Chains A and B, each alone.
Chain A
Amino acid sequence: MSELFFQQILNWITLGSVYALIAVGFSLLFGVLNIIHFSHGDVSLLAPFLALTVISTLGSMLGDLNSLSVFVLALLVAIAITGLIGVLLDLVVIQRFRKAPAMMALVATVALGIVLRELIRHLFPNGSNPHAFPRLVEGDVMVGSLSVPLFSLVVIAVSVLVVCALFFMLNSTRLGLHIKAVSQDRDAARLMAINPGRIFRATFFVASAIGAVGGLFFSSYAGMARFDFSIDVGLIGFSAAVVGGLGSMPGAIIGSLLIAGLDTFVQAVVPNGASYRLVFVFLLVIGVLVFRPAGLMGRTLVEKV
């Protein structure tokens, strides 16, 4: 009983960490750009496919190598490329909508997400089908009398590290201060000789790279990579950011844990819960939006007239 309960708790935090890695990017991008980058989830879930590509290319080029080092290298490359893809999307598409009505950027990025998914489907060999994706680490460790999957520990530890690094970056580095300045007042920042375009690109890189970590973890968690994962995961990541309050980093984390908690709970408790999990998650989202439109941690801003 308590064994099972413990497993569920662990599962919850693992899933919550994965969602948080994606939600944080939504929130960060919104804070800085003031638009929703709806395709952020799709960008994040490019990473597993990029990693698979790297693995197979390296495998064919170098023959059999120490598989763990190839794997880790592939992950790092995938993270970097995903970050660059985020920047590229900004340069090619999203940038054009900085001054347009919010609705246009929104619809454009929704479409962009579809394009990314379809590109995977058509360009990746056999892209419509699921592809096996390896676990990062196998095995369990014993904590007292409980056996804990190493994978969960790694996911949670890395997520905590990444989020701490992000907080440190935002609060204590020059780049972070500039990002904050731009998100508070773009024009004032420009007067302080900060180039907002550069800050936008940096933000896109950071958000997409962190999202990539989340995407890799998710595929590893699920044991496979699918082109349409990003519909669910992207929506959940975005929902988590919204529930927490867009623009608030702690909010994104709380929102992720909340949604992951509901997700785990429903699957464990409700009969046939796995098929209904999104129903519950989105009812929560709608409920939060109706009663706290700015999210749990978001500040309600009154439009200045």
Chain B
Amino acid sequence: MTRSEHSARAASNPVAGMATVVVVQLAGAVFLRQFLLIEDWRLVIGLLLIFGAALVLMERVPSLEARVEAAFARHSRLALLLGMAIVLGFPFVLEGNTYALHLCVISMLYAVLALALNFQLGSANIPNFATGASYGIGAYASALLALNFGVSFWVALPVAAVVATIFGFLLGIPSMRTRDSYLALVTIAFGVVIHQLLNNLEFTGGPNGLVGIPVPELFGHSFGDPLVIFGQELPSQANFYYLSALLVLISIVFARRLHDSRVGLAWNALRTDELAARCQGINVTWYKVLAFAVDAFLAGFAGTIYAFYVGFISPDNFTFLVSVTIMTMVIAGGMDNILGVIVGAFLLTLLPEKLRAFSDYRILFFGVTVIAFLMIRPQGLFPQRLRRYGD
């Protein structure tokens, strides 16, 4: 029972526990900052090696991992506050580097998408290849509202999420009758159908997509303008940085609460054994449809932010390959592990950008990554954890 021993030790020494939390979080932030700002590919590789070494160390020395875990569990409030402070302060230490900020925004959107897919792939083991399509539906719905009806971003945001959710339900309906490969085919087909429709319909602008999506405003402040906080001027991307960070936070809250609830348990049950789950009284069909809906809901949000951030969208932003990319993030990060999925999203968004030589091969890289993880480490970088109650 080394685990309880260590949690006992961490509990008896709150200072050490708090120090652990602070050190781990700051180290993570510094690591990300360096990773974003470094240009030389050799240094990037070096950082990756450090990251790998840290993971291996955690895995080899379970007591260390247990101690970190216990510290975070015990000082969860401190961890949360410090984490928020770091996220808020992060743009200030990026030396005004707009590209780094841009990468942060994209990574965070992918983190939301990966968390969305995780409800299905991770929690319920439903292979959904249509998350990219839901992302696109959210983006197009909000952009169309803004362009045709002058609807403001803040109204379009929830409406687009609802539209995406409705499509998610529709996509979920075939899942009542189909499973595994058949269901995967349905989701792939759905993605292709959506892509072709976007590509060909008149009102979606065909292959050229939609352009001139207006920049959001909040209390008279345009998101296209630089953000001035405490006399410090941040590039305009910072507006969307904070917006996406908020969305990531909301997604984490969703993910955690659902995971730790009866719904998450039901998803986990049908993941392992659908028939046994039915025999415990779980309405398997309903829970599967629900997973589709929740996935589409969050993806719809991400799509809206993307559309308004970039200002133009086209069908090619939302292809099958986008879905596969998201899937890679979930599988590599760790299915059903929230932290893992987020790390997976950041890593796989940033790597091809940082290793430029490599970005030509990014799709190949994603494909190989998925296969390698499934063959060698199917649980991902951060394996799922058993639940605990009460303590």
- Residue B161 lies at the interface, judged by CB distance under 8 Å to chain A: no
Residues of A within 8 A of B126 (CB): 103
Residues of B within 8 A of A168 (CB): none
**A302, chain B: closest CB distance, angstroms:** 11
| A-contacting residues, B322-360, CB 8 Å | 324, 327-328, 331, 360
Residues of B within 8 A of A164 (CB): none
B182–A289 CB distance below 8 A: yes
CA distance A43 to B296 in the complex (A): 32
| B-contacting residues, A96-115, CB 8 Å | 96-97, 100-104, 106-108, 110-112, 114-115
| B279 nearest CB neighbor, chain A only | A305
CA distance A246 to B185 in the complex (A): 12
Residues of A within 8 A of B360 (CB): 122
- Residue A6 lies at the interface, judged by CB distance under 8 Å to chain B: no
Partner of B185, one of A104, A242, A272, A276: A242
**A231, chain B: closest CB distance, angstroms:** 7
| A-contacting residues, B344-391, CB 8 Å | 360-361, 363-364, 366-368, 370-371, 374-375, 378
B363–A114 CB distance below 8 A: yes
B189–A112 CB distance below 8 A: no
Residues of B within 8 A of A246 (CB): 181
| B189 nearest CB neighbor, chain A only | A282
Interface string of A155-168 (1 = CB under 8 A from B): 00000000000000
Q: Given A107-B370, A282-B193, decide whether A101 and B324 contact each other with a Cβ distance below 8 A.
A: no
A114–B366 CB distance below 8 A: yes
| B188 nearest CB neighbor, chain A only | A235
A97–B374 CB distance below 8 A: yes
| Selected interface stretch from B18-26, B32-40, B170-178, B298-306 | B170-178
Residues of A within 8 A of B182 (CB): 242, 289, 293
Q: Is the interface of B mostly helix, strand, loop or mixed?
A: helix
- Residue B190 lies at the interface, judged by CB distance under 8 Å to chain A: yes
Residues of A within 8 A of B378 (CB): 100, 104
What bracket does the count of chain B residues touching chain A fall in? 35 or more
Residues of B within 8 A of A102 (CB): 180-181
CA distance A36 to B180 in the complex (A): 9
B181–A235 CB distance below 8 A: no
What bracket does the count of chain A residues touching chain B fall in? 35 or more
B178–A289 CB distance below 8 A: yes
Q: Given A122-B361, A282-B193, A286-B189, decide whether A114 and B367 contact each other with a Cβ distance below 8 A.
A: yes
Q: Given A115-B364, A289-B185, decide whether A107 and B327 contact each other with a Cβ distance below 8 A.
A: yes
B193–A283 CB distance below 8 A: yes
| A37 nearest CB neighbor, chain B only | B181
- Residue B320 lies at the interface, judged by CB distance under 8 Å to chain A: yes
B181–A276 CB distance below 8 A: no
> Quick one: which of A35, A111, A303 has the most chain B CB within 10 A?
A111
Partner of A122, one of B321, B364, B370, B375: B364
CA distance A198 to B20 in the complex (A): 55
> Quick one: which of B127, B193, B367 has the most chain A CB within 10 A?
B367
- Residue A152 lies at the interface, judged by CB distance under 8 Å to chain B: no
CA distance A289 to B186 in the complex (A): 8
A residues lining the B interface (CB < 8 Å): 30, 35-36, 38, 93, 96-97, 100-104, 106-108, 110-112, 114-115, 118-119, 122, 231, 235, 238-239, 242, 246, 272, 275-276, 278-279, 282-283, 285-286, 289-291, 293, 303, 305
Given A38-B181, A110-B129, A242-B185, 12 new contacts (CB under 8 A): A93-B375, A103-B126, A104-B378, A106-B181, A111-B324, A111-B367, A242-B182, A272-B200, A279-B197, A290-B177, A290-B178, A305-B275
Closest 3 CB pairs of A and B: A282-B189, A118-B364, A111-B370
